[in-house]
Every structure is written in C-alpha cells, then in structure tokens.
Amino acid sequence: MNLSRILVLFSLLLLSPALLAIAKPIPKAPELAANSFILMDYASGRILAQKNPDMPIEPASITKLMTAYLVAKSLADGDIALSDEVTISEKAWRMKGSKMFIEVGKKVSVQDLIKGMIIQSGNDATVALAEHVAGSEDAFTEYMNHQAKQLGMANTNFRNSTGWPDKEHYSSARDIALLSQAVIRDFPDTYRYYSEKEYTFNDIRQFNRNRLLWRDESVDGIKTGHTEAAGYCLASSAEKDDMRLISVVLGTKSDKARTQQSQTLLNYGFRFYETHLLYQQGEVLKNARVWYGDQEEVPLGVQNKIFLTIARGRYKDLDASLEIDSNISAPLAVGQELGQLNIKLDGETLISEPLVAMQAVNDGGIVQKVIDRIKLIFN
C-alpha cells in the first residue's frame, strides 16, 4: 500500500556560544605536487579534498596496511595468537628492501613480527606473518584481494604482502583511505603500534618512517611507502577535538615532500571543517501512532550512528525534519522502515536516513482492530 508522508519538523540543535561563530567561506583545497591524494573525514566518510583519487598507482609499503589488517583479524578470530612462535622461512629471510633483520630458522613471536612490520616496515617480518596466517604468501595474497572487495576497494589488486614492485600490484588514494579507516575502526589494539616512533629487535634500533609523528602531536599513524615507480607515499591520520582525518598522498618526489604535503592536507581539514555526531545508534527520535496493534505507539529511530562533516560555524544552520508514514498499521517488525530523516543546509539535503521501528508491535486482535477502525473513520 502506498503511504503518504506527514512532514514533522523538530528542533535538532541546542546552541552554545562556541557554535555562534560567523560562518566563513571555505577556500579551495590546496594544490599538491603529488600524483594523487585524498583527504577524508574518518567518522562521516566525507571527502574534503582530492586529486585523481581513483587512479591506480603502486602503493609500495602502504600495502602492509592490508597485511596488518588481516593479521589483526586472524588474532581476533582466534586463528593465531600474539605469543605464537613463527619459524622464519628462507623466503622471508631473503626479502630485500626494508628489514626487521630476522634470521632463517629462528623463532620470532607474532607480536614482535607485527612491530617489525608496522614500525620498521620490515619486508621479512611481513612475509613471515603472511606465511603464518595462510601457509604461503601466495595464499595470503588471495586473502588480501578478497578483503579488499569486502571493504569496497574497487581499484586495488594485490600481488604480494609487502608492496614489492609488480606491474599488477596497485591501489588508489581512495582505496587506501578506506583501508586506513577500517584499520582504525576494526582493530584499535593493533592501530596503537602505528604511533610508536621506534622499535629495537636483536639490538638493532630502527625508527618509524612517518615523520609526522615527530612534527604533529595529533598524528597517530599510519604508514609510509616508497619505491622508484611509486615515489614517496604516506597515509596519515590525526585527531583533534573529537575529529579524525585521514589523508593519503601518493607519488611525491621526496620524504620531505610527502611529509609536508600530508601536513598541509591535515591542516586544511582541521582549519575549515568540523564533524559532529548527530545521532547515536538506536536513538529514538519520535513516537509514532500505530493502528490495529497491541500498543498505540512505536518508537522510531536510526539504526546507525550519524556523523556529519560541515564547514566550521555552520552547525547552527542545519535543518532537520522527519517524514513519517501515515496510517502505520500493526504488525511491525524491529527495523522496519517507517519514514525518513532528512538533514539539510541551505536547502541542500546532506543526509537522508531511514527511520525504523525500534521495537516490534504485535497484532492487536479483533476488538482493537474494530476500535481503531472506528477512530480512523471519524478522523
């Protein structure tokens, strides 16, 4: 049955002096000397700046973000443990490039290997972990590509666990931002390693290559990458005033350039935007009339947290409205869509989210149906 909509306006905001600042225009996003880049708000997913965000490019050691994600997933699933002792294969030991300097035939704990992979960017540690999780690096790579699809990484194809150069090994700035978001969201216990500035193994002290960790206290990750073909790359994340940003800068000419340009992107986002949690998951926004049920009202709400990223100073200008189905009739199931939440700014719809029943409503029986039928006739 087609149901008409009843527009119900309600107050969204409680103003405070901090929110009464005069809105200022947002300047154009900075131009960066990079092959591609993206700046994304972690909570809302809004893209604040971009250049060639979907262009395939070699991700180099940023690839290790996916390896670390899958290692963390295996830990969470109970398939491996931090205390597992991994026997180092000859393949892992022979890996070139950045190293943790593990020795063939020796046993190293999963926890030490994770630190060697994330902090030292060790290719040897990365291959050892891939083999421990999946039996071989080739099998692990299949796992990586499967997970990439699950995360919506549409322009990614992995050929190895480390980011070792391969023409068929590529990703994009947008995909790396999505992966970074998943790393932070899904496995916070593992994410803490990305903020560690150094790690010593076998008396060899090595430093995290993410220079932003020393320059900006708000930065707590995430991963660098460099090959001759890829250039200097950096995925970074920072948090200020309950707002977290993720920047991905790919294909710069130097370590200094990737650091400075990532800082420029982060500064731009924090200076001109703000992110707000508008509604909690399961928050009740309205009680709606129900006909023919064992109760007269049903609470309506949203199924997920709703975040919104807007220009600084515009929070007070948001307009919210509920469109609720008329003649809502029992029975109703939890999660059944019964309307729409709309958030607008200057007449533009920024968010349109389903309103759903927060609890079930059973059939009211014959007597209740007769009573409600009479009420509806007179209404």
Q: Catalytic residues, which ones?
A: 61, 64, 121
Alpha-carbon distance of 355 to 337, in angstroms, equals 6
CA-based end-to-end distance of the chain = 19
The answer to whether the peptide bond before residue 27 is cis (omega within 30 degrees of 0) is no
Residue 305 in tokens: 């947290």
Going from the C-alpha of 20 to that of each of 75, 107, 134, 232, 308, the distances in angstroms are: 47, 60, 55, 42, 18
- Say if CB 63 and CB 158 are below 8 A apart: yes
For 30, how many CA atoms within 13 A lie in the half-sphere containing its CB? 20
Which sign, positive or negative, has the C-alpha torsion 358, 364, 369, 370? negative
Alpha-carbon distance of 352 to 360, in angstroms, equals 23
| DSSP annotation string for 199-221 | EEETTEEEE-S-THHHH-TTEEE
